[in-house]
Each structure stands twice: as C-alpha cells, then as structure tokens.
Structure 1
Amino acid sequence: MTNVNLAIIYYSSTGTNYQLAKWAEEGAKEVGAEVKVLKVEELAPESAIASNPAWKAHYEATKDVPTATLEDLEWADAIIFSVPTRFGNVPSQLKQFLDTTGGLWAQGKLANKVVSAMASAANAHGGQEQTILALYTTMMHWGAIIAAPGYTDGSAFAAGGNPYGTSVTVDQEGNMIEDVEAAVKHQAKRTVEVAQWVKNGIQK
C-alpha cells in the first residue's frame, strides 16, 4: 500500500465547513491517509468579522489552523475542498488562493491530483451544487481527477442526496439540518481510495 497525502482545504466564517473538514480528516485517517487540514487566508476586514459574534468567535478559535500554501498543493496526492456558497460560487477567499496556482499549473504539477468538494448554504436550494460544480471547473483546468461521491454509499441519502459532493443546509442558529457526518467520512475515504489507485498506477 502506498500512503496517500491528503490536503483538506476549507474556508469557514462561522464553523460549518471547519466541522466538515474535521469529519473528512477523521474518515481519511481511518483508511491510513496522511492528512493536513488547512484554511485559506481570511480576506475580510477585521471590522466585518467583529460585526458578527459567531464569525469573530470562530476566527479566534481557529487562529492556529495552518494556512494553505502552494507547497501543500504540491505535497498532496488528493485534495478535498469545503466551502460555503457565495451566490452559487466559491468564496472570494478560496478563489484568491486558486488564482495563485498558475505557476504550479504551468509546470504540470496539479495534473492528476484527485479532488473532491463539499459545500454549505443557508437554505436547501442555496447554490450548494452549483458551488461544487464551479470549483470542479477549475479542477478540470488543472487536469485533476474528480472523485465525486455519486451514490456510492447509502449515507448520501441521509445527507440530502447531492452526488457532486456532500452539502449541508445551515439554519440561522448555525445548526446543520441534514445528517452529513457519515457522508463526509465516506467521501473522504473514497477520495483517498481513488488517489491510491492513481498513485499505484503511476508508480508501476
């Protein structure tokens, strides 16, 4: 068996996607992956963060989580992204990070990375699927291999049935509506498994 290096890269303002990232970490470690949980840099001004108590609390609580770098992308065999939707698209914080990857892309160092994505929104039709698909568009430019969960496990249905990647609805109090923990862990394990196949195949 070849160890898979998995980077779980997330953006979270009030904690939902951080929790999804931590569940993904648990699932991936269960199948032997080497895992880094990494946040993208917060670009919002301190005044905006301070205006929302939940945002400020989460910002302070996760100060010690490492910030994703290009070196992390190069290290990773597989990458799971977890983000809230912003008008059916990825948050500017993640987009800013992705826009710095041109050098690695030009060198072909992002090709054949195995990628998967998760998302959240404040209502059931708030753009979760479109956000994941928007992120996958960038991944296609990378030449990455998308490991969507599809319906490869029954946990997808309890989680709302999103085949593109696990997604969750979050109420005004910050509570997750769907039961997504098992689906997130399955998605992480599947991503690692596909990366294992790719890595073993390349090394032959």
Structure 2
Amino acid sequence: MVKLAIFYYSSTGTNYKLSQWAEDAAKEAGAEVRVRKIKELAPPEAIAQNPSWKAHMEATKDVPEATLDDLEWADGYIFSIPTRFGNVPAQIKQFLDTAGGLWAQGKTVNKVVSAMASAQNPHGGQEATILNFYTTMFHWGAIIAAPGYTDPILFAAGGNPYGVSVSVNEKNEMIEDVEGAVKHQAQRTVEITKKIIGSN
C-alpha cells in the first residue's frame, strides 16, 4: 500500500481545504494517508490581528504538525502551499531546511512529490511558487508527479500543468472550481507512487 503524506501550510484555510480534498481522493485510490500541517512561525500578535487567521488556527488545532518522521515514513508527498511573493512561505522553507539529515542519509531519494498552490489573484505567483518548491525536490532526488494535462478537468480549473493552483478573493473564497482537479492530481500521485515503489 502506498504511504502518502499530505503537508500543508494555511493561514486562513484554503490550503487546508485543498489538502482535505487530496486526502479523500488518495484514500479512494487505496493509499494510507497522513495529513500534516506545517508549524506556524508567525507571532501570536500578528495572528490575532487577522480574525480569519485566528479562527482557522483554532479550528485546526488538533491537526498533527509535520515531523521528519512523516517525511521518512511516506513513499510520496503532496504539498499545498500559499504563495509568498512567488515563493514558498517561511514556514514551508523552515520545515524543508530541517530535513538536511534525511537528505544526507539518502532518505529523500525517489520520494514521489506533487504540489499545489494558492494566491490572491490568478497571476499572483502560483506557478513560480510550485516551481521554486520543486527546485528543492530536485536536490532531494525526489520524483516530480506534476499533473500536466492528463485530464480535461485540469483545464476547467485553470490549466496549470505544474500543480493545481487557485486564486482566493478578499473573503477567503476560492474563485476557481478546483476540487476535481485536486482529486485528479492526488490520484495521479498515488498511481505514480505505486509504480515507483512496485519497481523497488
């Protein structure tokens, strides 16, 4: 059975929702799934100034935080990442940077990985965020499982071949309908992971 870890960072809930959709689809595809949130680094006073941020933190307080054990345990990963100036948030970067020991031991090699992203508008840096994230995965020796154009549903969701991306309005509502595309990407990640671990 494929072991899939879904990692997300979310301040107001978008990437958490994407992760939940991915979890449902991965389980349906036969994977054992762990959903893990990336540890929050922002100071409490910053969070307190944004009611949506504070509410989301409270709503997801019981979601386990990501650990290096989760990285080592999984055969494949899905990362759901908000855009910060066309790059990954500091929280994601800090988590990746702690994995140097696993990388040095070769324990990130041949992990299958796929990524999704969100931003405040359709051209807010989602593609750049995913590509910047994948650069780290190249260093890890991971195998990228991008959705490409493997299903027509991807076009309805905006047609990002690197990974599903979504834009969010000022009310924290997703503008594009990406649920189907997220589920396709998750199922594709499980399918590719099966092939990789089956050939070992």
Superposition TM-score tier, normalisation by shorter sequence: over 0.9
Q: In structure 1, give the amino acid aligned to 2:114.
A: S
- Which aligned segments of 4 or more residues in structure 1 are displaced greater than 6 angstroms? none
| Equivalent in the alignment of 2:72 | 74
In 1, Cα distance between the equivalents of 2:108 and 2:63? 24
Aligned residue number for residue 105 of structure 1: 103
CA deviations over 1:101-156 (Å, ceiling 9, x no partner):
00000000000000000000001100000000000000000000000000001110
Percentage identity across paired residues of the two chains: 73
What is the match of residue 57 of structure 2?
Answer: 59
Where does the alignment leave 5 or more consecutive residues of structure 2 unmatched?
none
Secondary structure at 1:18 match in 2: helix
Paired position in structure 1 for 2:132: 134
Aligned to 1:37: 35
Distance across 2 between alignment mates of 1:176 and 1:12: 14
Q: Secondary structure at the match of 1:41?
A: coil
Letter in 2 for 1:88: G
CA–CA separation in structure 2 for the residues paired with 1:83 and 1:15: 11
Query: TM-score scaled to structure 2, two decimals?
Result: 1.00
C-alpha deviation, 1:197, in angstroms: 0.1
Q: Deviations over 1:39-97 (max 9, x none)?
A: 01000000000000000000000000000000000000000000100000000000000
How many residues were matched structurally? 200
Query: What do you get for the CA RMSD once the two structures are aligned?
Result: 0.4
2:199 corresponds, among 194, 201, 204, to 201
Residue matched to 1:92: 90
Matched residue, 2:8: 10
State the distance in 1 between where 2:98 and 2:180 align: 33
The CA distance in 2 between the partners of 1:171 and 1:129, in whole Å, is 18
Aligned residue for 1:46?
A: 44
Question: Distance between the aligned counterparts of 2:34 and 2:79, measured in 1?
Answer: 12
After TM superposition, the score normalised by the length of structure 1 is: 0.98
Shift of 1:16: 0.1
Unaligned runs of at least 5 residues, structure 1? none
Match of 2:151 among 150, 153, 178: 153
Q: What CA distance in whole angstroms lies between the structure 2 residues aligned with 1:31 and 1:124?
A: 30
Q: 1:174 aligns with which of 162, 167, 172?
A: 172
Q: Deviations over 1:147-203 (max 9, x none)?
A: 00000011101110000000000000111011100000000000000000000001x
The amino acid of 1:103's aligned partner reads G
